[in-house]
Amino acid sequence: MLTHLQRLEAESIHIIREAVAESERPVLLYSVGKDSAVLLHLALKAFHPAKPPFPLLHVDTTWKFRAMYALRDTVAGRYGVDLIVYQNPECIERGINPFTHGSALHTGLWKTEGLKQALDQYGFDLAFGGARRDEEKSRAKERVFSIRSAQHRWDPKAQRPELWHVYNARTRPGESIRVFPLSNWTELDVWHYIRREQIPVVPLYFAAERPVVERDGALIMVDDDRMPLEKGEVPQLRKVRFRTLGCYPLTGAVESSADTLDAVIGELLRSTTSERQGRVVDHDSSASMEKKKQEGYF
C-alpha cells in the first residue's frame, strides 16, 4: 500500500505533467519559500530523466530577506533550470516600499501587478503556484486548475467543475490558467516531505538569534539598513524563526528554539496558531485573500 506522502507526490506529478501537456508556455512561480522548494522538487521528478520543460519565474519586490536571495541565486545552477527574475519597473522608478506606501499598495504593485506584467511580457499561458487548500478558507474552494481572465481576474462563481483526475486546461486567447499541484497538501505534509527528500530550504525557517523590533504585535526582523527605525526603537537579538516568508518588513517572526527540521516539525505539531498569522498582509479583513485573488493576486 502507498504511504500518504507517496499518494500526494504521485497526484502532484500527475497534475504537473497534465498542465505541461495542455499548455503552450508554462512557467513555475518560484517564491523561494518552502512550498516553492517542494514544487520545484516535484517538477524535477515529473520529467526525470529530462529537465522540466519550463522556466522558473521569481516576481521580486527587492524587499525579500537577504537569505532568500542567497538561496534563489543557487537554484538555477544546482538544478540546471532557467530562472527569470522580474521586478515591476514602475515600482523601481517610484521606489515603492512598505514603509512609505503601506503594505497594501506595496503588495498590490510589486506582486500582483508585477506578476501580471511578467506573465503578459513573456506570454505565459499557464503558471504553477504552491498554494494549498489548507492555508486559508477561500483557497479551500479553489480548483487545482484555476482559470484567469485576460485581466488576470479570478471569478469564484465561474469555476470549472473538476472530477476524478480529469482537468480542463483549455483557454481562450488572453486567458491563462493557474495550477496548484500542492492543493491537497497540508503544512505538515510539506515539512514531512522536505525532511524525507532532504530538500534545501531558506535557513530563516530555523530558529537563530536575529535582530528584531516589535511593531503592532509582530516581530519584524531588521534585515538591512533600509528599514527606518522609530524613535527609541532598538533592534534586539532574539531567538526567532519564520513560518512563512515574504517581504521582510511584512513578515512576522515567532519566538522559537526550533533550530532543526525535527524541532520545527515538533513545534508545528504542538502549534496553536495558523501559518498565515505571521503575514501582516492578510490581516486587513477576513475576506481579504478572496478580494486579492479576484484582483489577480496569486
Partner 1 sequence: MTTVPDTDVGRYLTADDRKTLLRFITCGSVDDGKSTLIGRLLYESKLIYDDQLTALEEDSRRVGTQGGALDFALLVDGLAAEREQGITIDVAYRFFTTERRKFIVADTPGHEQYTRNMVTGASTADAAVILIDARKGVLTQTRRHTFVVSLLGIKHIALAVNKLDLVGYRREVFDRIAAEYRQFAAALGLTAIQAIPLSALLGDNVLGPSENTPWYDGPSLAQYLETVEVDAGAAGGPFRLPVQTVIRPDLDFRGYAGLVAGGTVRPGDEVRVLPSGASARVARIVTGDGDLPSAEAGQSVALTLDREIDVSRGDLITAGAQPAGVADQFEARLVWMHEDPLLPGRPYLVKLGSVTATCTVTHLKYGLNVNTLERTPAATLAVNEIAVANIAVDKRLPFDPYQANRDTGGFVLIDRLTNATVGAGLIEFALRRSDNIHRQALDVTKEARAAIKGHRPAVVWFTGLSGAGKSTIANALERELHALGCHTVLLDGDNVRHGLNRDLGFTDADRVENIRRVAEVARLMVDAGLIVLVSFISPFRAERSSARALVGENEFTEVYVQTPLEVAEQRDPKGLYRKARAGQLPHFTGIDSPYEPPEAPEVRIDTGIVSVPQAVARIVAQLRATGIVP
Residues that bind partner 1 (CB under 8 A): 1-7, 9-11, 13-14, 17-18, 20-21, 44-51, 133-134, 137-141, 156-166, 168, 170-172, 183-184, 186, 188, 192, 195, 258, 260, 262-263, 265-266, 269-274, 277, 286-287, 290-291
Query: With helix as H, strand as E and coil as C, how does 215-267 read?
Result: ECCEEEECCCCCCCCCCCCCCEEEEEECCCCCEHHHEEEEECCCCCHHHHHHH
Nearer to partner 1, 36 or 183 (CB): 183
CA distances from 91 to 57, 82, 122, 285 (A): 18, 24, 19, 25
Min separation Cβ 185 and partner 1, Å? 9
CB-nearer residue toward partner 1: 109 or 263: 263
Place of cell 530562472: 83
Separation of alpha carbons 57 and 247, rounded Å: 17
Angle at 121 between CA 81 and CA 43, to 5 degrees: 25
In 3D space, the residue among 35, 82, 86, 84 whose CA is nearest the CA of residue 59 turns out to be 86
- The number of CA neighbours under 13 Å toward the Cβ of 243 is 23
- Residue with Cβ nearer partner 1 (76 or 265): 265
Cβ 119 to partner 1, closest distance in Å? 18
Phi, psi of 214 (to 5 degrees): -100, 125
Supply the minimum distance, in Å, between the C-beta of residue 265 and partner 1: 5
Q: How far is the CB of 169 from partner 1 (least distance, A)?
A: 9
Q: How far is the CB of 231 from partner 1 (least distance, A)?
A: 30
Secondary structure class of 279 (helix, strand, coil): strand
Which lies closer to partner 1 via its Cβ, residue 172 or residue 231? 172
Q: How far is the CB of 245 from partner 1 (least distance, A)?
A: 19
Nearer to partner 1 among residue 71 and residue 289 (C-beta) = 289
- Burial class of residue 30 (count of CB atoms within 10 Å of its CB; 0-12, 13-18, 19+): buried
CB of 70 to partner 1, least distance (A): 26
Element of type H or E holding 44: helix 34-46
Rg, C-alpha atoms of the chain:
19
The least distance separating partner 1 from the CB of residue 87, rounded to whole angstroms, comes to 32
Nearer to partner 1, 68 or 219 (CB): 219
Residue 233 or residue 262: which is nearer to partner 1 going by CB?
A: 262
Whichever of 104 and 229 has its CB closer to partner 1, that residue is 104
φ, ψ at 225 (rounded to 5°): -85, 10
